[in-house]
Structure 1
Amino acid sequence: MNTFKVQFFSPDNRISFDEVVSLSVNGLEGELVILAYHSPYLIYLLPGIITAQMSNQTKEKVVIDNGILEVANNNCSIITNQIQVFDHLTHDEESLKDKRVGIYLSYLDVKSL
């Protein structure tokens, strides 16, 4: 099974996963799934939950603020202001979705000017 490495960076935290099969993210262009050996890519990420499907069939979820994702050389780096491992007790998926939609709508307003 082909895997790749994912690293999350923020000013006060770093999270790394070594054997990721797929990574699901939300960017300005919509939802995106990154697989091993993805072509080089750079995208602006919206706040929300990033899901990493691991080679051992588990899923790891990380909550981010908006940020930048870069894919190069079978590695994925995500730079953001804030990262936290997802916890159902402290994170509300619906409020994260609302925040993401608000930022996207603001982006569309600016783009249409």
Structure 2
Amino acid sequence: MSTFLLEIVTPEHVVFSEQVESLTVRGLEGELGILPGHIPFVTPLQVAPIVVKAGGKTKNIAVHGGFVEVQGDKAIVLAESAELPEEIDVERAIAARERAERRLSATKQDVIDRRRAELALQRATTRINVSSRSKE
């Protein structure tokens, strides 16, 4: 089966670098499936899990914003942060989700505080989903 190189990079380090068969990401316009030979493009990413298929196995990776660039036989995800399932502290993510939900239910808050709480909720939910999918 044909493959391409996928690199997931954060400002701190390279999270993932392997040959893969396919990649599914959630861009601003919706989900995008990337296979070998895909046309070149760059698009911003939402806070959402990405799905990687390699060696007949599927892996979910938590990605918290950034961009994906596809060029030739390579795809690069430049993420604000990214976590493999085994790196996720589920208890911490559940506590973060609960804090964000409490902040969102508060009656008085400005637009910036509300947006921060929404993003914190998205990040926590993404972490929980990626961790739970890796245990299936």
Category of TM-score, reference length = shorter chain? 0.7 to 0.9
Please give the root-mean-square deviation of Cα atoms over the aligned residues, in Å: 2.2
Give the match for residue 45 of structure 2: 45
Contact 1:70 1:78 in 2 (8 A): yes
Is 1:34 paired with 2:34? yes
Q: Take 1:63 and 1:86, find their aligned partners in 2: how far apart are those partners?
A: 7
In structure 1, the partner of 2:67 is: 68
Indicate whether 1:80 and 2:79 are aligned: yes
Tell me the TM-score normalised to structure 2 length: 0.63
Decide which structure has greater strand share.
Answer: 1
Residue 18 (structure 2) pairs with residue 18 (structure 1) = yes
The question of whether the paired residues in 2 share the 8 Å contact of 1:9 and 1:79 is answered with yes
Residue 89 (structure 1) shift: 6.2
- Tell me by how many angstroms 1:17 deviates: 3.6
SS in 1 for 2:21: strand
Residues 6-38 of structure 1: CA distance to partner in whole angstroms, max 9, x if unpaired?
001111121234221110110101001000010
SS in 2 for 1:11: coil
**Consecutive unaligned residues in structure 2, runs of 5 or more:** 98-118, 124-136
- 2:122 counterpart of 1:99: yes
Aligned residue for 2:38, secondary structure, equals: coil
Unaligned runs of 5+ in 1: 101-113
Q: Which has the higher helix share?
A: 2
Indicate the percent of aligned positions where both proteins have the same amino acid: 26
Larger relative contact order (Cα-Cα within 8 Å, sequence gap ≥ 6): 1
1:7 aligns with 2:7: yes
1:68-93 Cα shifts (integer Å, max 9, x gaps): 0000011000111101002586267x
Moved over 6 A (4+): none
TM-score by length of 1: 0.74
